[in-house]
Structure 1
Amino acid sequence: MITRDAFRGSTTDELLYVDKNFTYQVKPKVRLLQKELSSGFCVSCLATGFYPRHINLTLFRDGQPVADHEITGGDLLPNDDGTYQMRKSLEISAADKHKYTCSVTHLSLDNKLDIALEFDPGEPFKSLIPSVLIVLALVLVFGTGVIAYKCRRRRAASIKSDYSSASTSEENRGPAS
């Protein structure tokens, strides 16, 4: 058996010797994607870079398989490197609050691979909230620093001005008699 592992196990190649034949296997890279559409969202299950070509790819809604008539895609397509890919997609409304799961079985996988997507239409905005808060905090800190710097310069100029006017008035009085 020859095995080649990649970062985080996303790709593993295996060369097996079974029944006096070599069998080459490549594990699929699986992603469950959510894309915003004008009418709602598209949830897609994509398996790519796998070999041999037979794969079982199923979309689940709240643990139940989605009916075939609701799904688009599902065609097995070849990649340039001799591996294959398959995508199954489902259009859903913006009000949809279901849990979607992509389930994959393939000869190269020891067990069934499940990837879940908790659908939440507000999720893209929730991911922006920490970034916005960080930017606001930085602006606040920077603004406070600028104000403190200007106040110190103004105070230093005022002290210098007071010192200059005091020494000028002593010079105008002349020597003490």
Structure 2
Amino acid sequence: MVYSVKNIFNTRIESMYDSRSRKYVGFDQYGVRNAEHYNSLDWKSLVREFEKETLCRHRAQLFRRSTLERKLPPTVKVRQTKHADYGERTMFECSVWSFYPQAINVSWLIDGVETVTDVSSTDVLPNEDWTFQLHSYLELILKRGERLTCRVEHSSLVKSLEVDFDTFSLDAKYIKLSVGSIFFCIGFTAAVGGAVYYWWKRRSGFSPVDGREQTSTSLSDL
């Protein structure tokens, strides 16, 4: 910690106090006389040391906590820049926000294996709240069943952060098609079963009306 006080007259430094030597130094004839006078005053050096501890060191601690020791973990999201189906070439974006300090590493993994082909990214961009953001892009033909992961390494993280691309949007129409097929099969099976049951009853000669007439005849005979 070095504390200096400069006495300037007409834009020229005439004397300066340096906390390393704990005395004033003059730079011209007038400044040398003033420096000798200041150095003869014991209280003057004590005041400067007090200012060093209360002003400089305290502010340096605040600066260290707000900059050098400040760590904010990133927020990560992976998405498609435009909709595309499996087997179609598309672009994926990994957005990393609100991290501090600036140094960060972002990479792409396919089924756990890092890929560097067709990968690009923006520069680290500053935010208004003194944090940073970065966006990484991967152009890829995604296959069904593949796991696409964005991996982020930052000093605020105990271990690397890995975020997978949610394939629900791609699988949704297959899910709808499967569910529709299941309901169609159930409905078709019920219709066929009903038709077979009706045909079997007609073939066996069963009729609700005939049954009532036979019952009435039997009672009159009695």
TM-score by length of 2: 0.42
Which protein is richer in helix relative to its size?
2
Report 1 or 2 for greater relative contact order, CA contacts < 8 Å, sequence distance ≥ 6. 1
Which protein is richer in strand relative to its size?
1
Larger Rg: 2
